[in-house]
Amino acid sequence: MDGVMFEVHDFVEGHNHSMVADSDMQFVRLARKLTLIQEETIYELFNLNLGPVKAFNLLRTQYGGFENVGATKDDCKNFKQSFNCFIGEYDAEMIAQRLCAKKTFSSAYLFEYDFNYNGELIRVFWADEISKSNYLAFGDIISFDATFKTNK
């Protein structure tokens, strides 16, 4: 009444129905959520260069069907996007830390890098034992631009 409230005069239960069938509740946004274990699994799969769809398919297999995962492919895609946004400004530091950590496993491993005054990674060089022996045998060096045809 008065544009603010409504008054019910007659209620017929037979005309009422649930908004979502019980069998479809798993698709409602509030019912979907990746668990911490699932997020960690997806993160590890990303590190193995598996995309969000393949990560979801592996979860689906592991959990015995998509209805048991508790999330959808889009949730995996959104997790990856959120994760990439989170690490956006730290990705150069993460690369440097990861490659520096390899020095602890191999004394022959060499890794050098430079940041500019903005803290952006501008140069990276690494060589392991195999690449060093290949250089001694063949004398060739390959250089590549990993940013070629990217949107950043």
pLDDT in tens, the chain (152 residues): 567 788 888 888 877 777 777 777 667 777 678 888 888 888 888 878 888 888 888 888 988 887 788 888 888 888 888 877 666 656 777 777 778 888 787 888 888 888 888 777 788 888 888 888 888 888 877 766 666 666 55
In sequence order, what E strands does 8-152 have?
110-115, 121-127
Q: Which amino acid is at 124?
A: V
Q: 71 with 37: CB under 8 angstroms?
A: no
Strand partners, 111: 126
Q: 66 with 60: CB under 8 angstroms?
A: yes
Q: How far is Cα 95 from Cα 91, in angstroms, rounded to an integer?
A: 6
Q: How far is Cα 69 from Cα 62, in angstroms, rounded to an integer?
A: 9
Distance of CA 105 to the CA centre of its chain: 27
